[in-house]
Structure 1
Amino acid sequence: MATPIEVLTPAQIVAELDRTIVGQQAAKRAVAVALRNRFRRQQVPREDRDDILPKNILMMGPTGVGKTEIARRLAQLARAPFVKVEATKFTEVGYVGRDVESMIRELVAAAVRLVEQEQRDAVTPQAEQESWERMVDMLRTALEPPYDHFASADAPQPEHPLAGQDREQIKQDLQAGKYDEVRVSLEVEEAGSSFLQVFTPQGMEEMGIDMPGMGGPFQARRGWRTMPVPEAYATLLDQEVKRLLERAGIHRLALERTEQTGIIFLDEIDKVAIKSGSGGGPDVSREGVQRDLLPIIEGSTVQTKFGPVRTDHILFIAAGAFHMSKPSDLIPELQGRLPIRVELEALGEDDFRRILTEPRNSLTAQYEKLLAVDGVTLTFAPEALDEVAFLAQEANQKFENIGARRLHTLLERLLEPELYNAPDTLQGTIEISVDLVRERLGKLIREAKDGQTVV
């Protein structure tokens, strides 16, 4: 059972992140403190909470060093609504493109899915119990012998097949599949929608209009259907879960979760920075995007189809490589709203070697599990992993430096024959040796140098 996030100290949060992410201790410490501060804020007197705002983070580092992964794992650890958006997809209001408020609407939608799943897990046991109780009544009705209207008044009527059995015994027989062939009648909702989704341009992307009572295709219609017991139970369970979820107030809980624990990862923030001395052209729109971001990050109210959302306590983690620009090229107001700066280090050969084996569900472990499905036992010689790490470093130095993503490319090319041939012509144990790595990947690197292929 996972440890509740509220009892984890910053050091323990870093230890959890260490299980899946190699290195980058400064970034891990920064997000761990930010996450722990959320718990601390909830413990202070209510009248003081509104004054305690999250310290937003700016991560700087080349691609493939773990910026996105740290934010994503943090959200999983905190069981918090999380969305990743790219700043380059936004345009200043008035231009063609997405407005910055759309990321808040996406965050609310993520919160609704998260809360709905949590509530569904919580109410399912009760829904199962109530569904089986209703199934007993439906089964009794389905097996009721027809009344003989032509029999004399004193003639005995046929005995009910379930006579003498208590509800618990009938329920156990139902669960054991004894009555799976019996067909029962159940009232269900038929095709039709009581909710109209409207897609419009900027600012109104996902307006939902509830249209009960309008009739026609917008009015839910109910009717009776006859179906086997297993199908009827599944339908009943779905109905009971929905009924209990409606009482749980999912939308209200999702809005609260968004406001208090939401995390937005704003990637490629460097692409909307304006280089010193430049101006005009696309830079006008870039500065406009930055200025549109300001009220969202500082704190404002955004209208969503589930209700208004205050953004004051949403944690924003911005990230960028800053190859062509510097953090100081962001407008000063935006810099001030990202007070915590963390620089992530470029990955080297030793880091690649650790990434291949150390994290939980590492890359090599993933391929081992995939091939195990087809009856192939995949193993890697230690020297082979050393060679893969060396070649990844060499490729990053000679071509574009894409960080740990280079390992995905190399391993996919290295294991392509095994992944293709299993299970048709490949079975048993396969060891990846250093010679095999040099044969397959060395050739790949040479061809890339000659421009014949892309690594």
Structure 2
Amino acid sequence: MSKIICDFCGATDSVDNPVISGDNACICKACISAAHDIMHGNDPQDYHQEQNVQTQEEVIKLRTPQELKDILDEYVIGQDTAKKVLSVAVYNHYKRIFRHNEIDDDTELNKSNVLLIGPTGSGKTLLAQTISKYLDVPLAIADATSLTEAGYVGDDVENVVTRLVQAANGDIEKAQRGIIFIDEVDKVARMSENRSITRDVSGEGVQQALLKIVEGSVVNVPPKGGRKHPGQDALQVDTTNILFVCGGAFDGLEEIIKKKQGANVLGFNQDKKSKNDHDKIISKVETDDLVKYGLIPELIGRLHMTATLNEITEDDMVHILTEPKNALIKQYIKLFAMDEVNLEFEQDALKELAKLAIERKTGARGLRSILEDIMLDIMFDLPKYKNKTITITKEVVLKKQEPKVA
């Protein structure tokens, strides 16, 4: 049996908003309440919108910054400053959406978009993925290098919003409270501070196009994305309440900061910089450094909170392998356990894995490919090791010896 629908607003009969059925019409509780307010000279309250926001808030389960950071700690090793910045930004963002009516005044709260600066594999994307997963909000991840100005080969900037709508399964209301992560934003920096005379369709042009959606505006987006599906009816999406997180490695930014501080970045007698020196310099980044790097001031002005991520050390790599909830070693132990095989890693083997990842300069994301290469032959013959224990040693990682089987 089909549910009764209100003839005035289209709401479906529910426990919270029951619909009363008459001979020739149906009306819901919300419309009766609004009609009562009108008859008594009061402004009718937007009951449906209020009810929808409350439902969304219940789903999102607004958490404190400390609670958000605790969640991030379970999946991301180190990077405490970046975790705090992102936790505060997300908390303030959703508090702004759901609790703005608690204090009745004319003050408007602006959103705080985030810029994450850190080397490849340091956890920028993982931070955004983790926080969206535990807030149960849609997340769209886009690579800035694939974006171009409208009319040129490549993705339009608006396609980023399309991906968010798709991540929300077509629910525009939910998408309008989601998170968009734009990676490799440093790759769309213009080549110099001077305005380019010629077209820069994948650099400054993209930054200009991003301004509109990052600041907050109603954009028309194709439901299936891009120009590959012409003739689509465009969807209208308001980006005012979408949180934008931009990330990039910003190679060469360190030299810009050192020059500003008057340090000599050239010469034969330069001491080899340590990781701590690098992290200290990058943490001092300011707006004018990013302008010199090639980001336009208007875009920087819309990325209000900046956090720097540190380079990952060998010890960090070992922790990443073993400690997070979805740590790679835990995943392999579970895979082997499914075939009733025990898997163990010696500490020296873990350190060697970490060392290899650092040498390849791929960050934490390089750990999986290293492990897959090492474990391939073992997993090929895995079923025959049933009820046995396989131990991975340093020599196995270096491919000098077969694993121990007991």
Which TM-score tier does this pair reach, normalised by the shorter chain? 0.5 to 0.7
Match in the other structure for 1:423:
383
**Residues 413 and 282 of structure 1, relative CA distance in 2, 3 Å threshold:** farther
Match in the other structure for 1:406:
366
Are 1:6 and 1:36, in contact at CA under 8 Å, matched by a contact in 2? no
- Of structures 1 and 2, the one scoring higher in RCO (CA 8 A, sep 6+) is 1
TM-superposed deviation, 1:77: 1.1
The correspondence of residues 109-124 of structure 1 with structure 2, limited to 5 A, is: 109-112=166-169
Partner Cα distance (1:294, 1:4) in 2: 30
State the Cα deviation string for residues 187-208 of structure 1 (Å, max 9, x = none).
xxxxxxxxxxxxxxxxxxxxxx
Match in the other structure for 2:355:
390
**Residues 307 and 266 of structure 1, relative CA distance in 2, 3 Å threshold:** same
Match in the other structure for 1:345:
310
Are 1:84 and 1:264, in contact at CA under 8 Å, matched by a contact in 2? yes
- TM-score, with length taken from structure 1: 0.60
Match of 1:327 among 277, 290, 315: 290
Match of 1:370 among 307, 310, 335: 335
Q: Quick check: 1:57 aligned with 2:22?
A: no
TM-superposed deviation, 1:7: 4.9
Match in the other structure for 1:91:
148
Match in the other structure for 2:93:
38
**Residues 48 and 334 of structure 1, relative CA distance in 2, 3 Å threshold:** farther
Match of 1:11 among 66, 87, 103: 66
- TM-score, with length taken from structure 2: 0.67
TM-superposed deviation, 1:411: 1.3
Match in the other structure for 1:106:
163
TM-superposed deviation, 1:408: 1.5
Partner Cα distance (1:84, 1:420) in 2: 34
Q: Quick check: 1:275 aligned with 2:331?
A: no
- SS of the equivalent of 1:283 reads coil
**Residues 411 and 281 of structure 1, relative CA distance in 2, 3 Å threshold:** farther
State the Cα deviation string for residues 217-263 of structure 1 (Å, max 9, x = none).
xxxxxxxxxxxxxxxxxxxxxxxxxxxxxxxxxx6xx222222x210
Match in the other structure for 1:140:
none
TM-superposed deviation, 1:324: 4.9
Match in the other structure for 2:14:
none
**Residues 97 and 354 of structure 1, relative CA distance in 2, 3 Å threshold:** same
TM-superposed deviation, 1:415: 1.4
TM-superposed deviation, 1:375: 2.4
Match of 1:380 among 330, 342, 345: 345
Are 2:65 and 2:88, in contact at CA under 8 Å, matched by a contact in 1? yes
State the Cα deviation string for residues 333-360 of structure 1 (Å, max 9, x = none).
1110111111111101010011111101
Q: Which has the higher helix share?
A: 1
Amino acid at match of 2:181: F
Amino acid at match of 1:8: R
Match in the other structure for 1:315:
243
Query: CA RMSD for the aligned pairs?
Result: 2.5
Partner Cα distance (2:217, 2:152) in 1: 22
Partner Cα distance (2:120, 2:105) in 1: 39
Match in the other structure for 2:15:
none
Are 1:19 and 1:359, in contact at CA under 8 Å, matched by a contact in 2? yes
TM-superposed deviation, 1:425: 6.1
TM-superposed deviation, 1:374: 2.2
Partner Cα distance (1:4, 1:382) in 2: 42
Q: Quick check: 1:70 aligned with 2:127?
A: yes
Partner Cα distance (1:425, 1:378) in 2: 11
Match of 1:27 among 69, 82, 90: 82
TM-superposed deviation, 1:21: 0.8
Match in the other structure for 2:6:
none
TM-superposed deviation, 1:44: 2.6
Name the % identity. Answer: 41
State the Cα deviation string for residues 121-177 of structure 1 (Å, max 9, x = none).
xxxxxxxxxxxxxxxxxxxxxxxxxxxxxxxxxxxxxxxxxxxxxxxxxxxxxxxxx
Are 2:149 and 2:205, in contact at CA under 8 Å, matched by a contact in 1? yes
TM-superposed deviation, 1:293: 0.8
Match in the other structure for 2:172:
255
Q: Quick check: 1:299 aligned with 2:299?
A: no
Partner Cα distance (1:265, 1:85) in 2: 6
Amino acid at match of 2:191: K
Are 2:342 and 2:389, in contact at CA under 8 Å, matched by a contact in 1? yes
TM-superposed deviation, 1:388: 2.1
**Residues 30 and 277 of structure 1, relative CA distance in 2, 3 Å threshold:** closer
**Residues 49 and 255 of structure 1, relative CA distance in 2, 3 Å threshold:** farther
Are 1:90 and 1:98, in contact at CA under 8 Å, matched by a contact in 2? yes
Are 1:270 and 1:327, in contact at CA under 8 Å, matched by a contact in 2? no
Are 1:34 and 1:55, in contact at CA under 8 Å, matched by a contact in 2? yes
Are 2:152 and 2:201, in contact at CA under 8 Å, matched by a contact in 1? no
Partner Cα distance (2:175, 2:106) in 1: 16
Bigger-Rg structure (1/2): 1
- SS of the equivalent of 2:246 reads strand
Name structure 1 gaps, 5 residues minimum. 113-250, 442-455
Match in the other structure for 2:267:
none
**Residues 384 and 282 of structure 1, relative CA distance in 2, 3 Å threshold:** farther
More displaced 10-residue stretch of structure 1: 370-379 or 298-307: 298-307
